[in-house]
Chains A and B, each alone.
Chain A
Amino acid sequence: MGFGALYLLAASGAIVLLYQRASAGALAHASSGSDRFLGIYLAVMAALAWLTVLSGTYIVYPWYRAAAPPGTLNLSAFPRSLLLSSPATRQWHSIGVEWKEHVAWLVPIAITMAAFVAIRYVRDLRNHPQLRYALHGFVIASLFAAGVAGFFGAMLDKYAPVDGGQTIHLVRGQRQ
């Protein structure tokens, strides 16, 4: 959770950084230190993204999906079983968690590519506008994917149904 939150903050910073560099004349006057900073910044973001998905997949997720022993009445220690036990909360798993667990893995792929391009081309990146476009696109997509994963993670961990809090319907009008 902490790594993901840091990633979201860093991603919005990266978009501002890339936007500033793309504004009129900024590239021509950018220092080599500024070029190197972009590569380091994106590399730190990539490290955060990998830490997020690896810890989420191999530390948090096994706890989330642990099966409750037969006959368990209090499911509060078994979040997946708790969510699936009620039609009102089932979609938090079938939509929220199912999307979160996969979409989050798009983030390290996208941002590792962006970091590689920024580091490989450093000062020459200014001479490759198409590389910059791709870099912008992938960083924005990674922010969206991280936002989806972060939203569902925050809602599931901190707010709604896992702790028996307010029930929020993700999709209404479907027959259960």
Chain B
Amino acid sequence: MSTQAAATPVNPPAIPNGSGAAAILSAGIGAFALALLSIAADKSASLKALLSIYKPTGTLSGVTTGAILVWLAVWAVLDWRWRNHAVSLLRINIAALVLLGLSLLLTFPPVADLL
């Protein structure tokens, strides 16, 4: 990958990056919410029962539905606030990718069992 081509914009952006930033950060938060909910449901019997919203699938139904709702809600709020603004994407990218990496790690059962 050429760093020159990747780092230098061809023209000044026509659309502010706020909408994209909202999508990126909310995806990281949604992924992290999924990991946190799966761990929490594993540790708490009451939460496990609460999250079993579709019995044949068990806790997975509530964990995933909850995470998707968190993701979409955060996305809607951030998009509403940032849509017409340019934001610092470097920090947002780092935060989102760290959250995504943590989610991949925390969904791995031997790691989740350590918590």
Contact = CB atoms under 8 A, between A and B. Distances in A.
A130 interface: yes
8 contacts: A25-B5, A26-B5, A57-B64, A61-B60, A130-B17, A132-B6, A137-B93, A145-B104
A162 interface: no
A128 B20 contact: yes
Among A23, A28, A101, the most chain B Cβ lie within 10 Å of the Cβ of: A101
B100 A138 contact: yes
Contacts of B6: 22, 129, 132-133
A103 interface: yes
Given A22-B5, A121-B15, A141-B100, 13 more contacts: A27-B10, A58-B56, A62-B57, A102-B34, A105-B34, A112-B27, A117-B23, A126-B10, A128-B13, A128-B17, A129-B6, A132-B6, A144-B104
Interface residues of B, number: 51
B47 interface: no
Interface in B89-104: 89-90, 92-93, 96-97, 100-101, 103-104
Interface of A: 19, 22-28, 53, 57-58, 61-62, 65-66, 94-95, 98-99, 101-103, 105-106, 109-110, 112-113, 116-117, 120-121, 124, 126-134, 137-138, 141, 144-145, 171
Interface in B8-37: 8-15, 17, 19-20, 23-24, 26-27, 30-31, 34-35
A171 B71 CA distance: 34
B63 A102 contact: yes
Contact of A133 (B11, B19, B26, B93): B93
A23 B7 CA distance: 11
A126 B6 CA distance: 9
A134 B9 contact: no
Contacts, number: 141
A157 B109 CA distance: 20
Contacts of B80: none
B7 A129 contact: yes
A127 B11 contact: yes
Given A126-B9, A133-B93, A138-B27, A57 B60 contact: yes
Nearest to A106: B31
Contacts of A110: 27, 31, 100
B9 A102 contact: no
B104 A141 contact: yes
